[in-house]
Amino acid sequence: LSYYFQYTKLRWFLTIAGMFLYAGDIVTDISLTLTFYQEEHHLWAGLTLGFIVLGLLVSQIFSYAWFWDDMNDFLITLHTFGLGVFIRYYQLLKKGFAVLWITSHMHTEEERREKHQKLFCMATDLSMLKMFETFLESAPQLLLQVYIVLLGHRKNSILQYLSMAFSFISIAWSLVDYRRCLRRSLPHISEMPSGLPTVIYLLYKLCTITSLILSYSLFLILSAYTTVALSIVWLLMTMWTNILQTNFCSSKVLEALYRLVVGVILMFTFFNVKGHDTKVAMRIYYSTFTLLNVASPILLAVLMPQFNENTILVVDILILGGMFLGLLCLVLYYMRLHPTTKLPDTDEVDGLSKENNSMRRMRTFVQP
C-alpha cells in the first residue's frame, strides 16, 4: 500500500488534537465575548458573538446537507445544537480507528486503498467545514482584535499578542490542511508533499493574509466607513463567484450560500472555485492586494500623522514585509514546488463540486 493512500496513525492522533483545539477555540471566543460585555464594550461583544454564531450556523448547514446528500442520517438532529463538526470528528476517528487498528490486515490491498481514500474524503469534508468557520468567525474576529489593539482602548498583554499570532497561523493552516486533504482524496492528483513545499505554501498564505488583515485594520482606523467598503468588496467577490457559475451544491439555495461564503474567503485570500486557468485571476487579485497594502500605511501617515509612530512603524514593516515574503513564496511554490499531476493538465480546485456522494464535491481544472 503506497504512502499516498495511507491515512496514518499519526494523522489519526493529530485529528484528536485538532478536535480539542477546535473546542478550545470556541470556548476562548465565548470567553472573549463575556470579557467585552463585562468591560461594557457591548458593540465588540455583539460583533464577536455574531461572528461565532455565523461560523457555527453556516458550518452546520453545510454539514447537514452533506450528510443528507450522502444518504447518511447518523445523528443529523444534533446539528440543531451546533455539533455537526464534532459528529464528523467522531465518525472520522471511529472509522479511522477501525481501519488502522482493527481491520488493517483483513482486506486486500485494493480494499485497503479504497478505505484509506474514503478516510481522506471524510477528512476533506471536515477540513472544509473548519475552513468555512475559520473565515466566517476567526478572520473577521481577528480583524476586530487588531483594530482594538491598534487603537489602544484596552490594556494589552503578551498573552493577547501570542493569541493573535496563533490565530493568524491557524487561519493560514486551515487552508493548507484542506489543500493537503483534498489532494490526497483525489486519485488522479499527486499529493502535496510534506516538508519544504508545505512550509512555503503555509508562509505564502500566512504572510499574505496577515498583511491584508493589518491593512484592513489601518483603513478602519482611518474611517468607520471602511466597513461599507469591505461590504462592497465582499459583494464584488460574491458576484465574481456567481459569474463563474460554481456547481458545488446539490440545490440552488445551498449554492447561493456557498458563493456568499466564498466571497468572504476571497476578501482575505485567493481561492480557486472553478475549473479554469487561474493565472490571470491570481495576477489581478494580488495586484489589487498589493495596492491596498501599499496605500494603507501611506494614507494613515498622511491623514493621521498624530498616530503612534512606534506602533505604525511596526505595522508598516509587517504589512510590507509580509506582502513581499508572501508573494515571493507564492511564486516559488508555483514555479518550483507545486506537485505534478498524475494526469496531464489537471489539478485540484479549491472549491469542490457535487458528483458521486462523498466524492461529489471534487472536480479537476487546468493547472494555474
List the single range of 19-23, 57-61, 125-129, 274-278 with lowest mean pLDDT: 274-278
10 vs 319 pLDDT, higher one: 319
Length in residues, the chain: 368
Matching residue, cell 463585562: 38
Q: What is the pLDDT of residue 161?
A: 75
Instruction: Using the predicted structure, report yes or no on whether residue 12 has a pLDDT greater than 80.
Output: yes
Per-residue cell: 26:
470556541
Q: What is the pLDDT of residue 183?
A: 75
Other CB atoms within 10 A of residue 227 CB: 12
CA dihedral sign of residues 44, 49, 52, 54 = negative
Q: What is the pLDDT of residue 110?
A: 75
Instruction: Using the predicted structure, report yes or no on whether residue 363 has a pLDDT greater than 70.
Output: no
Instruction: Using the predicted structure, report yes or no on whether residue 207 has a pLDDT greater than 90.
Output: yes
What pTM, to 2 d.p., does this model score? 0.85
Can you tell me the distance from the alpha carbon of 112 to that of 38, in angstroms, rounded to the nearest whole number?
Answer: 54
Instruction: Using the predicted structure, report yes or no on whether residue 368 has a pLDDT greater than 60.
Output: no
Can you tell me the distance from the alpha carbon of 227 to that of 220, in angstroms, rounded to the nearest whole number?
Answer: 7
Can you tell me the distance from the alpha carbon of 199 to that of 134, in angstroms, rounded to the nearest whole number?
Answer: 20
List the single range of 23-37, 135-149, 173-187, 231-245 with lowest mean pLDDT: 173-187
Q: What is the pLDDT of residue 239?
A: 93
pLDDT band of 177, cuts 50, 70, 90: confident
Q: What is the pLDDT of residue 366?
A: 30
Matching residue, cell 516559488: 332
Instruction: Using the predicted structure, report yes or no on whether residue 324 has a pLDDT greater than 60.
Output: yes
76 vs 236 pLDDT, higher one: 236
Residues 6+ apart with CB under 8 A from 196: 337
Instruction: Using the predicted structure, report yes or no on whether residue 241 has a pLDDT greater than 80.
Output: yes
Residue type, 102: I
Instruction: Using the predicted structure, report yes or no on whether residue 187 has a pLDDT greater than 50.
Output: yes
121 vs 308 pLDDT, higher one: 121
Residues 6+ apart with CB under 8 A from 272: 278, 281, 349, 350, 351, 365, 368
261 vs 311 pLDDT, higher one: 261
For a pLDDT cut of 70, what percent of the chain falls above it? 82
pLDDT band of 274, cuts 50, 70, 90: low
| Exposure b/e, 156-170, CB count within 10 A at least 16 = b | eeeeeeeebeebbeb
Can you tell me the distance from the alpha carbon of 335 to that of 367, in angstroms, rounded to the nearest whole number?
Answer: 12
Span 339-367, mean pLDDT? 47
pLDDT per residue as tens digits for the range 32-49? 888 888 888 899 899 989
For a pLDDT cut of 90, what percent of the chain falls above it? 30
Q: What is the pLDDT of residue 4?
A: 46
Contact 45, 37 (CB under 8 A): yes
Instruction: Using the predicted structure, report yes or no on whether residue 266 has a pLDDT greater than 90.
Output: yes
Q: What are phi and psi of 16, to 5 degrees?
A: -60, -45
Q: What is the pLDDT of residue 319?
A: 94
128 vs 348 pLDDT, higher one: 128
Q: What is the pLDDT of residue 323?
A: 94
Span 335-341, mean pLDDT? 73
Q: What is the pLDDT of residue 54?
A: 93
Per-residue cell: 95:
472509522
Can you tell me the distance from the alpha carbon of 323 to that of 342, in angstroms, rounded to the nearest whole number?
Answer: 32
pLDDT band of 351, cuts 50, 70, 90: low
Span 42-59, mean pLDDT? 91
Per-residue cell: 220:
478602519
pLDDT per residue as tens digits for the range 311-321? 788 899 999 99
Q: What is the pLDDT of residue 246?
A: 81
Kindly report the three-state secondary structure assignment for every residue of the chain: CCHHHCCCHHHHHHHHHHHHHHHHHHHHHHHHHHHHHHCCCHHHHHHHHHHHHHHHHHHHHHHHHHHHHCCCCCCHHHHHHCCHHHHHHHHHHHHHHHHHHHCCCCCCHHHHHHHHHHHHHHHHHHHHHHHHHHHHHHHHHHHHHHHHHHHCCCCCCHHHHHHHHHHHHHHHHHHHHHHHHHHHHCCCCCCCCCCHHHHHHHHHHHHHHHHHHHHHHHHHHHCCCHHHHHHHHHHHHHHHHHHCCCCCCCCHHHHHHHHHHHHHHHHHCCCCCCCCCCHHHHHHHHHHHHHHHHHHHHHHHHHCCCCCHHHHHHHHHHHHHHHHHHHHHHHHHHHHHCCCCCCCCCEECCCCCCCCHHHCCCCEECCC
List the single range of 144-158, 185-199, 247-261, 269-283 with lowest mean pLDDT: 185-199
